[in-house]
Structure 1
Amino acid sequence: MDSTLHNSNAWDRKVEEGARYTQAVSTEIIEESKKGNWSISVTTEKSVPREWFPSSLDGVKVLCLASGGGQQGPVLAAAGADVTVMDISKKQLEQDEFVAKRDGLELHTVQGDMTDLHVFDDEVFDIVVNPVSNVFVKDVAPVWREASRVLKNNGVLISGSTNPLLFIFDDNEEQKGVLSVKHAVPSSTLDTLGEKEIEAHLKANQTIEYAHTLEELIKGQLDAGFLISGFYEDDFGGSRVLDRYIKTFIATRAIKMSPKV
């Protein structure tokens, strides 16, 4: 089974269903962004600190990686950046194209896999913005390597990831308020499902997710030539039981320190 193709189709369906991370920003947000009053998120609730970006985005080349949905890309474009949005989902990219056309923005869209950025030359971007999305790839190391390759030296990777702790609990039980440890890390959505459950999951076009270790998420960036220069945690805003006990998302700012990987 091609999990990449499956997740592409699954995200197309999420757009059709109007899921949270497929909802394009409003014209009002774009207009404020043009005035310099902008913010984006790469996790769930918190905004990325403005000091993680240059004081001015005018002419800054930004790759919004696995970041379709009409959210981060249009805001950064409205703030003056030269934005390219890459995503596996065609319908997610159409959200960015919709906002660009609606609000008179210049941005480029490319459909593709976050683990393979061969369409881009080496060292062409100043910033890569990568919201929580590496849960949809089995091996996260190529994401870090490719981000490093396409970034200029001293370029910045701003990335959101899921704390692997989130994945160890039985999701159905957690929704009932019960924290029951069920899964190992690393693992995937399908690992603990029976044959009929897998068939039903795939037929319903639900995404396949992969739980990565902290070594894969943090040390993986270091191994790809990055220096971690910023960090914060986030959660579901109090809507999940786990929010009472621990933050379940992390965001990192990393600087490319080596010219090649």
Structure 2
Amino acid sequence: MKIIEHNKDNWDKKVQQKNQWTIPVSSEEISKAKEGNWSIIVTTTKKVPKEWFPNLEGKHVLCLASGGGQQGPILAAAGAKVTVLDFSKKQLEQDHLVAERDNLKIDTIMGFMTDLSMFDTEIFDVIVHPVSNLFIPDIQPVWKEAWRILKFGGTMISGFMNPIFYLFDWELQEEGILQVKHSLPYSELDYSSEEEIVKNNHAIEFGHTLEQQIQGQIKAGFMIAGFYEDTFGGERLLDKYSASCIATKAVKVK
């Protein structure tokens, strides 16, 4: 199955359905960001600590797999030179919408997080990579390429799913029951046929292990310099027992 193409089309549909991760930030939020009062999230509810960022004025920032008119416009309003890369045309249109509405300069590129060959080596000061690598089966190319295009001393801020999120039976959770069903690393393709995936019209997800997520960044050359966990704000049954998301700050060191 053409996984990336399927997920790209699925996200185009999510924009039409007004999924929460496709709703652009407001003009009020942009105005506050221009005044220095800004924040972004890369998980679900918690704000990224402000101290994880350098002074953004004039810094080159890549919002990686981060379309939707959310992180990119805020960082641009805060003074950064922002490029947004996403595989969904509709998601990138949300960034265009905010840029035109609020007079921001944002470059957008339609592409896949696993292929950053369009960028020269060591050109970005910051990479912001919200929860998105659950939509690809192999995440090491993302870490490797992110390291290549980041300047030495630069920062990559990433959000990703805690693999525990994928252990439990999806249908039983709707009934208030947490019952282990899936093994890790998780692949939707191990539990659903191509026909079922197409019929249900949902994205194909992959639950990567903590070793793939964290050691993968270290293997690529990064030093992990920050870490926090996040829930779905009480919306999921698992929130009662564990965090579902993780965020890391990684620094490119010599």
Match status 1:43 vs 2:43: yes
Q: Distance in 1 between matches of 2:44 and 2:89?
A: 22
SS of 1:190's equivalent in the other structure is helix
Partner of 2:91: 92
Match status 1:215 vs 2:224: no
Is there any run of 5+ residues in structure 1 with no aligned partner, and where? none
Partner of 1:23: 23
Return the offset for 1:187: 2.2
Q: Distance in 2 between matches of 1:122 and 1:255?
A: 16
How many residue pairs get aligned? The number is: 254
Give per-residue Cα distances to partners, 1:191-225, cap 9 Å, x unaligned. Answer: 112x4xx3132244311001101100000000000
Return the offset for 1:110: 0.2
Give per-residue Cα distances to partners, 1:106-149, cap 9 Å, x unaligned. Answer: 01000000011001000000000000001001001001001000
Match status 1:246 vs 2:245: no
Return the offset for 1:26: 0.5
Contact 1:64 1:128 in 2 (8 A): yes
Length-normalised TM-score, structure 2:
0.98
Partner of 1:134: 133
Q: Distance in 2 between matches of 1:122 and 1:53?
A: 21
Moved more, 183-192 or 126-135: 183-192
The 5-angstrom pairing of residues 183-198 of structure 1 reads 183-193=182-192, 195=193, 198=194
Partner of 1:171: 170
Partner of 1:226: 222
Is there any run of 5+ residues in structure 2 with no aligned partner, and where? none
Give per-residue Cα distances to partners, 1:157-204, cap 9 Å, x unaligned. Answer: 0000100000010111112210011101112112112x4xx3132244
Partner of 1:146: 145
SS of 2:128's equivalent in the other structure is strand
SS of 2:145's equivalent in the other structure is helix
Match status 1:235 vs 2:231: yes
Q: Distance in 2 between matches of 1:211 and 1:246?
A: 16
Counterpart code for 2:68: G
Q: Distance in 2 between matches of 1:61 and 1:132?
A: 21
Partner of 1:62: 61
Percent of pairs with identical residues: 56
Length-normalised TM-score, structure 1:
0.96
Counterpart code for 1:152: K
Q: Distance in 1 between matches of 2:140 and 2:86?
A: 18
Partner of 1:3: 3
Q: Distance in 2 between matches of 1:216 and 1:174?
A: 26
SS of 1:96's equivalent in the other structure is helix
Q: Distance in 1 between matches of 2:198 and 2:119?
A: 32
Contact 1:42 1:159 in 2 (8 A): yes
Superposition CA RMSD, Å: 0.9
SS of 1:233's equivalent in the other structure is strand
Match status 1:114 vs 2:110: no
Counterpart code for 1:23: I
Partner of 2:158: 159
